[in-house]
Homo-oligomer: A and B are copies of this chain.
């Protein structure tokens, strides 16, 4: 089980040409049953392992994919990665995983060296850059989670607007009118769409928007923590909070604990995306659950599908939007 046995060794041992060995292994061309058996026997005997990289020089396919995330320690990304890697593996692809640590220069470096290594395609989760950059690369790219309409690339996103709308509507239906949102930057669709969903739900129910109730920071825990504290310091604090991603929600939970406010009693809370703390606290926090693993599997499937298409110009960019689910637990108080 090493890689120092080559196809030539097999050919010599089996008294056939290397072409025949290749034919047996790849099964593309006709080979007589007799020689097939003979070759297979020798392959087993010598523990021959084909060299994919040498093959890739001819086939122009390395059977390697890359998946890029901003931060591998965020469980959301890990779950998407898992989906992508598993599907890739099933279909015979190996996957590079890379965390850009939210740095654009690291992202650049990664793309360069992925290109050098001739990856067949890239799954890009939480993209940073101008989409035109990714197009220039001339490799199939699937954007996940963040997407820019009209960029010409394929994408897998979730129903951000719908999720935020449902979450907010749920709070309104339970009698809340002073509803805050803590969210990230409005740079990409994830931020804007969730914000719109929140605003639209309020508007549709005749509730006017309050600036102080709309907190925009980054997507990290500390934003949730600080913003929650600020919200609760207002002369008229909100009765409910919508925390627009997993880390913000964790920050909010911690802040409320530190303020000695009880979730579902003093303050109602709905999160976006599952997280350890939301599941742990009593009452459990209601969240908009998104199909993280499936985002990964979809992305991999779309990417590999794209790789198979011979005429690459034939395919129009495809955007898939996956639905979300509002899980209701005891974190929202009924105000009547």
Contact = CB atoms under 8 A, between A and B. Distances in A.
Interface of A: 1-4, 49-54, 56-57, 62-64, 72-73, 75, 78-79, 81-82, 85-86, 89, 92, 94-99, 101, 106, 109-110, 112-118, 136-139, 250, 253-254, 257, 276-277, 280, 282
A137 B1 contact: yes
B97 A95 contact: yes
A63 B1 CA distance: 20
A250 B75 CA distance: 16
State how many copies of this chain the complex holds.
2
Contact of A57 (B53, B79, B110): B53
Nearest to A112: B49
Given A49-B116, A92-B113, 14 more contacts: A2-B115, A3-B116, A52-B116, A53-B56, A53-B57, A53-B62, A63-B117, A64-B117, A72-B78, A72-B81, A72-B82, A73-B79, A250-B276, A257-B282
Nearest to A96: B94
Contact of A85 (B52, B57, B99): B99
Given A73-B79, A96-B94, A96-B96, A1 B115 contact: yes
A83 to B, nearest CB: 11
A118 B85 contact: no
B98 A89 contact: yes
Rank and list the top 7 A-B pairs by shortest CB-CB distance, nearest first.
Answer: A97-B97, A2-B138, A276-B276, A52-B116, A53-B53, A52-B117, A49-B115
25 contacts: A1-B115, A1-B137, A2-B115, A2-B138, A2-B139, A3-B118, A4-B138, A50-B116, A53-B53, A53-B117, A57-B57, A72-B81, A72-B85, A73-B75, A73-B78, A73-B79, A73-B82, A81-B97, A85-B98, A85-B99, A89-B106, A94-B96, A250-B276, A253-B280, A254-B280
Contacts of A136: 1
A54 B57 contact: yes
A94 B3 CA distance: 20
A2 B137 contact: yes
A272 to B, nearest CB: 18
Nearest to A109: B89
A279 to B, nearest CB: 9
A54 to B, nearest CB: 6
Nearest to A113: B94
Nearest to A82: B72
Contact of A97 (B54, B63, B85): B85
Nearest to A57: B54
Nearest to A75: B73
Contacts of A118: 3, 51-53
Most buried by B among A1, A253, A282: A1
